Amino acid sequence: MVKEISFTKRCFEQLEPFEKRYIIQDANHRDSVKGLVLEIMPSGSKFFRFRRKRLGRDVSVTFGEFPNLTIENARKLAKQTAVELSKGVNPNEAKREQKREAELERELS
C-alpha cells in the first residue's frame, strides 16, 4: 500500500502501524523529493528510504529512523543520493566496498 502525502512532523506522529508495513511517498510540498519515502513497520518504527530504478533494478537506500532523522535532513540526503545515482554510483555498493576495505585493513594490522 502506497500513499502520497506532504511530509510534516505532525502527520508522521499521527501515522498508525498496520499488520503489514506500508509506504508513504513525499508529495505535494514545494521541497518534496521524488523517490523519498517513509516506511512504517508493524512495530511502529518509521524509516526514511530513497527508492529509484537504476539499470532496470530497484535501488533502495535507508537513511535513518524518524524522529532521529528530521524531514529536512532526509530530503537533503535524498537529493545527494539522487545525484550519486545519476552519476552511476550506487550508494549501497559504495558502502559495501568501504566496509570490505575497513575489514581488510583490520586483518592486515
| Digit-coded pLDDT (tens) for 43-62 | 988 999 998 877 777 888 88
pLDDT at 103: 82
Ranges of each domain in the chain: 2-108
Provide the b/e sequence for 22-32 (b: ≥16 CB within 10 Å): bebbbeeeeeb
Averaged pLDDT for residues 34-39: 89
27 — pLDDT class (breaks 50, 70, 90): confident
Q: Domain 2-108 is classified in which CATH homologous superfamily?
A: Integrase, DNA-binding domain (3.30.160.390)
pTM of the model: 0.77
pLDDT (tens digit per residue) in 81-106 = 888 888 887 887 877 888 888 888 88
Beta strand 22-26 with 57-66 is unpaired
- CA separation for the pair 20, 94 (Å, rounded): 31
Residue 12's alpha-carbon distances to 5, 24, 33, 40, 80, in angstroms, are 10, 10, 17, 10, 23
